[in-house]
């Protein structure tokens, strides 16, 4: 079980690293009109998205393995309010991840309508998800 937990944490960190950095690239992307830089940001965003998607998928796989690895863990979890909140935050985080993909395509296709300030605020959302998820798992306030 400890191996599953270790790999789950490793891939959660990988996923969040991408979720923190990709919107920051969007900020820089939205601030430039230099063709060379735009092309470079497109490549960087695509590669980072691939790596963060891999981290996200593997964190979900190892997380699910952890749930089923603990005998009878699923029945216990579904009775816990903190688990419902954590699950809702994870689902919202997946939505954020997918929305990043949409924004990446919009920027790639030069269809951006948002300011760099908007992307700066958008960049802060994963922090809120991280705080909420960690608090639910560690403190279990409900």
| pTM of the predicted structure, to 2 decimals | 0.93
**What is the tens place of the pLDDT at every residue in 11-47?**
999 999 999 999 999 999 999 999 999 999 999 999 9
Q: How is the chain split into domains, by residue range?
A: 2-138
Give yes or no for a contact between 124 and 39, defined as CB atoms under 8 angstroms apart.
no
Token look-up 């923190």 returns 20
Report CA dihedral (117, 123, 125, 130) to the nearest 10 degrees. -160
């Amino acid at each position: 079980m400890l191996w599953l937990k270790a790999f789950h944490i490793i891939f959660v960190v990988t996923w969040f690293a991408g979720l923190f950095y990709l919107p920051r690239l969007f900020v820089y992307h939205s601030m430039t009109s230099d063709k060379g830089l735009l092309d470079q940001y497109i490549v960087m965003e695509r590669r980072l998205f691939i790596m963060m998607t891999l981290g996200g998928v593997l964190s979900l796989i190892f997380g699910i393995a952890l749930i089923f690895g603990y005998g009878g863990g699923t029945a216990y979890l579904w009775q816990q309010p903190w688990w419902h909140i954590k699950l809702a935050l994870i689902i919202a985080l997946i939505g954020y991840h997918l929305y990043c993909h949409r924004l990446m395509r919009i920027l790639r296709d030069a269809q951006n309508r948002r300011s760099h300030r908007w992307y700066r605020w958008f960049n802060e959302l994963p922090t809120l998800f991280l705080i909420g998820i960690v608090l639910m798992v560690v403190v279990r306030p409900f």
